Amino acid sequence: MKQILAILGMNLRTILARSGSSIVIIIGIAGSVAVMVSLLAMAEGLSKTIANTGEEDRVLIFRDGANSELSSGIYVPNVAIIENTPGIKQSEDGPMISAELFTIIDLKKKGAEDTSNLPLRAVQPMSFKIRPELRIIEGQNFTPGTAQIIVGKGANDQYEGLNIGDQIKVRDTLVTVVGIFSTGGDVHESEIWADLSGAQGFFRRENSASIAIAQMESSSRYL
């Protein structure tokens, strides 16, 4: 006990002499904690955003072994093979299933010098029936088969050159912004959307997509 008190007394007597290093350590720990809290808050926010994007009666179809849209790849003609699978909802325009190409392009954020990643999703017309929460809030939807895009509200707020009438370069193709859309605040608002057939030409990926999305008859029926 005496030894413990002696060590404690020595530390207390020398704390002023070590004040500089003590302050550095305290600031370092506080900074690390602040960064960790910030990252955890961002992660929780992202998780909630992604969770709010999904619906119980929608199914995403990936390539076997893929764990994300970026790592997945499907052959578009194969989507027709599963169109009549029991459980997929039918509409007046046919089975509610759509192939989608998901990729990343580079574009400058407002006020930034360097480019940042911007998600691009290329869809078929049925995607809009499967995702009825998407609303054009300014301008119009793209015309299938053209070099037109629509821009999520979040992407429009963050990136340069995404106002209606603006043109950006996607690979070697100039595409024109014709509309701004909202999806109720979910993650899709940070994307730009294009027509699948047109985007396959931009990226030289004929008959290729990333995933398929299907609307099920009910949340209890899955592929």
Query: Position 110: which residue type?
Result: K
Domain ranges of the chain: 2-53, 58-215
Which band of pLDDT confidence, cut at 50, 70 and 90, is reported for residue 106?
very high
Q: How far apart are CA 76 and CA 208, in angstroms?
A: 6
Cβ pair 122, 144 in contact under 8 A: no
Q: How far apart are CA 136 and CA 180, in angstroms?
A: 6
Q: Per residue in 145-168, pLDDT tens?
A: 999 999 999 999 999 999 999 999
Tokens standing for 213?
Answer: 């999305």
Q: How far apart are CA 112 and CA 124, in angstroms?
A: 33
Q: Per residue in 51-77, pLDDT tens?
A: 444 678 999 999 999 999 999 999 999
- The whole-model pTM stands at 0.75
Cα 144 to the center of its chain, rounded Å: 22
